[in-house]
Structure formats: structure tokens, C-alpha cells
Amino acid sequence: MEFEHVTFDLPHGTFHALQGGDPDGQPTVVLHGFPDHPPTAKPFLAELARQGRHVIAPWLRGYAPSPTAGPFDFASLTGDVLALIDRWSPGRAVELVGHDWGALITYDAVVTAPERIERAVTLAVPHPVTFLSRPRLAQLRRIWYMGLFQLPGSGWVASARDLAFIDRLWRQWSPGLSLDPALQAELHEDLRASMPAPIKYYRAMMRPGMIGATRRLSHPIEVPLLQLYGADDGCFLPPKVDDRHRFAAPHAMEVVPGVGHFLHIEAPEAIAERIAAWAK
């Protein structure tokens, strides 16, 4: 399955994306997370396309070759995605699939513009308000890097020794995944051109704009939503609290055995099939 590199002139600048699949199929937008970009997920994108979807996967704000200038608050990040949806699929609601930071943007998008999203899937990250309300000690230990990213010079730490810190996070978060060397080299190239913008997402979480995002995210989600987690995820644990009250539409949560944080990269066919079965 071939994917073409396309661009969109949006209010914040020219955004780049991979696009493929059936132009008449279900429009599906796939959002990557940290520290990642669309090419690593090509097998997953191809599986979604084989199921009859029209798929687009943008490089998010802060990730070259899309604009690397901020701000990086939730409203801005979500605004980029909604602007892309309006340009790419103006007459039809989309299926929105988000991983890691892409999942956080997905949670915000479905409460901000539910009429533009037919259904949504989040990968690896719980509902933000659920996560913030009762964080577990075991979970806090796994996200130590967020504290590091608040410090001056953390961009240098992330980039030093050919992004050794980034490679370490990938190994910790998905212990069973060995990223193809060519894909890793391509990811390194984009991240070197992006730093320190990707870690500024975490700094924006500590600023006043997060209060407004939390208020939005406190509203029940009125879009059907599937949450998938990897059983071997070294970054995020599935929530143990009952948060069904946050979902006012059909909702399901599954823990997928044998995969870690980058579950859609480790098992692209299995994750795409789970999404397809739920969508039916």
C-alpha cells in the first residue's frame, strides 16, 4: 500500500502528512505521539487502508517538516487537527485515531467538535481527567521524564549522543519492539530537525491554558470511543478506576496482550482488526 506525502496550508502554517487508501472510503485521521512521526506507523496505516478507509496521518505541530513554532497548549494542538479535518474532509465526519499525545488531542477534539468526528480510538493513554484525578505511584514513576522536560537544557539531553535518550524511551516503553534501522534513522532525522519543540508539549501542561483544557475535558464524551492499551506498556498503565461516567456514547476499553506502548507499530494488523471489529 503506497502512501503519498501531501501538504495543507492551515492557519498555523504548512502541515505535512501521509495519505493513502480509498478516496471514497471512511475518512480516518491518525495522530502520532511522542517521540514519533507518521512513517513509523506505515504498516498500521496500510492495514487501516486495506479495510476500505481513506487515511491521513499528519506530522503534528512541533514535528518537522510541519511547523515547529508554538504555542503547544491543548487548544492550539487541537485547533490544528480540526483545521486539517475541515480542509481534508469538509463534508463528512472522520474516524479519529490517536496515540500518546495524539490520543490526548483526540480526547480534546471529541469534546470540542463532536460533530466533526464519527468515532474515535485512543491508543496507550487514559482519559486525561481520569489520569489526573487519581494518579498511582507506579504510574508516576513511569512518567519521570515529564519532570525532566521542565528543566532548562532538557532539549540538549534529549538530543545528545544521536538521540540516545529518545531510543532509551522507546526501549523502556515497548520492550518487545525493535524498530527497523531505516525507520529509526528517518525518525532521528525528523526529531533532530524538531527539537526542542516536542518536549515543549510537556512544559505547556504546566501553564494556565491547561485549566481551560481540563474544564473542556470534564464534559462527557458524546462520540463513540474505543480505548486500547498494551499489556507490556512501560509508560502508561490502564486506569483501575471506573470512569464510565466520562463517556455518554458507546465506549469500550481493551488491554492487548503481548505489546507495549507503541502497540500499533508492534502489531499493526491486530490493532487495525480490533478497531474494525469495534467500528462494526
Q: What is the CATH number of the domain that holds 98?
A: 3.40.50.1820
Kindly report the pTM of this predicted structure: 0.96
Q: What is the pLDDT of residue 137?
A: 77
Structural domain for 83, as ranges: 2-276
Distance from C-alpha of 97 to C-alpha of 228, rounded to nearest angstrom: 11
pLDDT score at 209 = 66
Instruction: Specify the pairing of strand 13-21 against strand 4-10.
Output: antiparallel
End-to-end CA separation in angstroms for the chain: 23
- Digit-by-digit pLDDT tens for the chain (280 residues) are 789 999 999 999 999 999 999 999 999 999 999 999 999 999 999 999 999 999 999 999 999 999 999 999 999 999 999 999 999 999 999 999 999 999 999 999 999 999 999 999 999 999 988 887 766 777 878 888 988 899 888 889 899 999 999 999 999 999 999 999 999 999 999 999 999 999 999 999 877 766 777 888 889 999 999 999 999 999 998 888 888 899 999 999 999 999 999 999 999 999 999 999 999 8
Q: Please state the domain count of the chain.
A: 1
d(CA 122, CA 136): 20
pLDDT for 132: 76
Check: CB of residue 197 under 8 Å from CB of residue 70: yes
